[in-house]
Chains A and B, each alone.
Chain A
Amino acid sequence: MTLKNETILDTLDPELMARVVSRRDALGGLSKTTIAMAAMASAPIALSMMAKKAFAQGLPAGIVNVLNFALTLEYLEDEFYKAALALPTLIPATTRPVFMQVSKHETAHVNYLKSALGAAAVAKPTFDFTAGGTFADVFTNYQTFLAVSQGFEDTGVRAYKGRAAELKSDNGILTVALQIHSVEARHAAKIRRLRGQKGWITGNTTDVPALAAVYAGDEVTLQGPVQTANFVSATAASEAFDEPLTAAQVLAIVDPFIL
């Protein structure tokens, strides 16, 4: 073989390669370099097999739908934190590392989803983070910023959860969705604590009436046939399970933020 790695990789459609690599990453947590090296080991057979698999699995409409839904939420979060971090005085220096980390993850999620969707990816909407003036000082008042941030993160957790079952036909994508979902939960917990709240959601109450829909239904303690409030307490039972939101509920929550 005289071909260099670059040469073989260059013969593949870049979008296809991105999908193959990202799907492989999803399954094995391997770096792109590792994938490329592994592919080289038995190229060109491995590459052609991977290519065929990727074509054959051209994402089904149902999965494209869910991933675009997720991408829209990630666009929202990504732009929100980028805008906030660009302001020199909004976020105090003491908590800036927290938001840099959150922002880094949201950017990575956008990049993954765009790569997985390829040409099927929805375009980024135009956002209004004041939600038509409801949060007019979102970028000048740190507390308002935190309140909106908490709303976005808790929504993200419930949104991914609500659609996981629709991804079951593709184990790799289901697993990635779960891996993103728990990162959103980590974000949510930390931001809730910055607001002096518990890291977990108790009941369906919120101190931000405009974000009440984010917590609708989270007070549930009946899980299938099991009344979990009987085990320790209704409070613990509510906190111990994050409830899903339907796609319609999520869209109603984010709609005021989209122009």
Chain B
Amino acid sequence: MSKPTATGAAELEFLGQLANATSRRTFLQWAGLTIGVAAVGCSDDDDDDGTGPGPNDSVNLGSGDTGVLNYAYALEQLEAAFYTQVVMTPYTGITADETSILRDIRDHEITHQKFLQAALGAGAIGALSVTFASITFSSRASVLGAAKTFEDLGVAAYNGAGQLISSDVNLGYAGKIVSVEGRHAAVIRDLLNPNSMDFAGDDVVNAQGFDRAFTPSAVLAAADPFVINPINASSLPTS
């Protein structure tokens, strides 16, 4: 079992370019060349080439805190892949401020992804295959609209997952990450509709002043169009 190795942003950009060049459909075998296959989590990973599950392989998140962290890790993989593509193929008319924001967010998501992978160790799921075929990367509205969806979904996912986590330490990690996702969500929303109420809009914050909290099944259903591997969350804690 190979140890996970750090992958620099430049390396990721190269991987993304490679993937982009070989397929018109944006299809990233996300950082699969450098991530060791986990012993736990890949229920039927039958390729032995060390590149993680194939696109059609079902990925089992596992149980207990490992399962919850793998759930977070899956979402962070999706976000990191998305922003890597966004930065690599900037949309028409992107401003310097927007470039800076999107690069920062990419770096945060890669940091989250790699942190969770390292924290999970041998329990980490492999690299997921993702698709962004529904997103037009040359369009500001399409990219920022997707970013808003991903960030709001991330916030709701972590908020809903807190109660599923057993250890204080892991709850602490989730808490440290979720507020950064909330910051991302607010900044992206404010790019779309500056100085309005949308940074914390009534569509995501209810009358009691609560952000959304989603169950894993709701989150995975929302993420499903972007994740090619079937995700098996059936062993996750339910309370």
Residues of A within 8 A of B (CB): 22, 25-26, 29, 94-95, 97-98, 100-102, 104-109, 111-112, 157, 161, 164-165, 168, 171, 174-176, 178-190, 193, 198-200, 223-224, 226, 228, 230-233, 235-237, 239-244
Assess the B200–A105 pair: CB atoms within 8 A.
Answer: yes
Assess the A185–B186 pair: CB atoms within 8 A.
Answer: yes
| CA A244 to CA B162, docked complex, whole Å | 15
Known: A105-B205, A112-B208, A182-B155. A224 touches B197 (CB 8 A): no
| CA A188 to CA B190, docked complex, whole Å | 13
| CA A109 to CA B111, docked complex, whole Å | 32
| CA A15 to CA B210, docked complex, whole Å | 21
Question: Does B133 lie at the interface of the complex (its beta carbon under 8 Å from any beta carbon of A)?
Answer: no
Known: A165-B172, A240-B177. A189 touches B199 (CB 8 A): yes
Closest 9 CB pairs of A and B: A108-B209, A185-B182, A236-B107, A179-B210, A189-B183, A185-B179, A182-B182, A186-B186, A171-B163
Assess the B104–A190 pair: CB atoms within 8 A.
Answer: no
Assess the B183–A199 pair: CB atoms within 8 A.
Answer: yes
Q: What chain B residues lie within 8 Å of A107 (beta carbons)?
A: 209
Assess the A231–B115 pair: CB atoms within 8 A.
Answer: yes
**18 pairs, CB–CB < 8 Å, chain A vs chain B:** A95-B195, A101-B201, A104-B209, A105-B205, A178-B158, A178-B159, A182-B155, A183-B182, A183-B209, A189-B183, A199-B101, A199-B186, A230-B6, A232-B107, A235-B107, A236-B108, A240-B108, A240-B180
| CA A185 to CA B176, docked complex, whole Å | 11
Contact residues of B between 2 and 25, Cβ < 8 Å to A: 6, 8-9
**Other 9 A-B pairs with CB < 8 A, given A98-B199, A165-B171:** A98-B197, A101-B201, A102-B200, A105-B200, A175-B213, A190-B186, A240-B108, A240-B112, A241-B180
Q: What chain B residues lie within 8 Å of A98 (beta carbons)?
A: 195-197, 199
| CA A47 to CA B197, docked complex, whole Å | 38
Interface of B is mostly: helix
CB distance from A215 to the nearest CB of B (A): 14
Q: What chain A residues lie within 8 Å of B114 (beta carbons)?
A: 228, 231
| CA A178 to CA B172, docked complex, whole Å | 11
Q: What chain B residues lie within 8 Å of A29 (beta carbons)?
A: 206, 210, 212-213
Contact residues of B between 43 and 96, Cβ < 8 Å to A: none
Assess the A101–B197 pair: CB atoms within 8 A.
Answer: yes
| CA A46 to CA B143, docked complex, whole Å | 47
Assess the B104–A198 pair: CB atoms within 8 A.
Answer: yes
Assess the B190–A190 pair: CB atoms within 8 A.
Answer: yes
CB distance from A143 to the nearest CB of B (A): 16
Assess the B171–A164 pair: CB atoms within 8 A.
Answer: yes
Closest chain B residue to A108, Cβ basis: B209
CB distance from A150 to the nearest CB of B (A): 12
Q: What chain B residues lie within 8 Å of A165 (beta carbons)?
A: 168, 171-172
